Amino acid sequence: MTAALRFLGIFAALMIAAQPARAADPAPGLKVGVVNTERIMRESAPADRVKKKMEKEFESRVQELQKMEKQGKELQTRIEKDGVTMSESDRQAKERELGTLTRELQRKNRELQEDLNRRRNEELSGLLDQINKVIKKMAESEKYDLILQDAVYHSPRIDMTDKVLKALAGEAK
């Protein structure tokens, strides 16, 4: 019977050891903050500047694409409207012209999207660096122990997104 008791004692000790460790309560003086990066990227003054800069940079290319698209629609309408009265060779020439214009439009649109994505990533990387510097500076000056970005859930009392937005606005001036 002592072997059975010894087995039960070992088994009980193993079961206790296998229990998940419970997180210790945070120290009473622990200062934690949470920042909503998506909101900052959407609402901050530097994000607005980046958006305007990108719009200005790509404005002429977008207008060129819109002009080409309008030409394509006009040519399509002309072919549909006058196609019956056109000679076969004229109609085929207009259809080839439309096909060429459509391919050119698609190519330029792809190039624009690729360039736009590349530039957006460059600008967002710089913007994120700027945001992180402001957050670190704030954390050091206000003596935060931990700042999290984009938590699934957090209490509104530890949300410091508005503070970061104000700091970025002040930095922008």
Domain residue spans of the chain: 2-172
Return the pLDDT at 173. 65
| CA nearest to 98, candidates 117, 74, 134, 121 | 74
DSSP letter string, 2-43: HHHHHHHHHHHHHHHHHSPPPPPPPPTT--EEEE-HHHHHHH
Residue range 9-61, pLDDT digits in tens:
554 444 444 444 444 445 567 899 999 999 999 999 999 999 999 999 999 99
**CB distance 64 to 108 below 8 Å:** yes
**What is the pTM assigned to this prediction?**
0.66
DSSP letter string, 53-116: HHHHHHHHHHHHHHHHHHHHHHHHHHHHHHTTTS-HHHHHHHHHHHHHHHHHHHHHHHHHHHHH
Gyration radius from the chain CA atoms: 31
Return the pLDDT at 29. 79
Return the pLDDT at 11. 47
User: Which conformational region is residue 113 in: left (phi greater than 0), alpha (psi within -120 to 50 degrees), or beta?
Assistant: alpha
More reliable by pLDDT, 143 or 7: 143
Return the pLDDT at 33. 93
CATH 3.30.9.10 fits 2-172, yes or no: no
Return the pLDDT at 70. 95
Sign of torsion, CA 78 84 90 91?
Answer: positive
Residue range 76-134, pLDDT digits in tens:
998 888 878 888 888 889 889 999 999 999 999 999 999 999 999 999 999 999 999 99
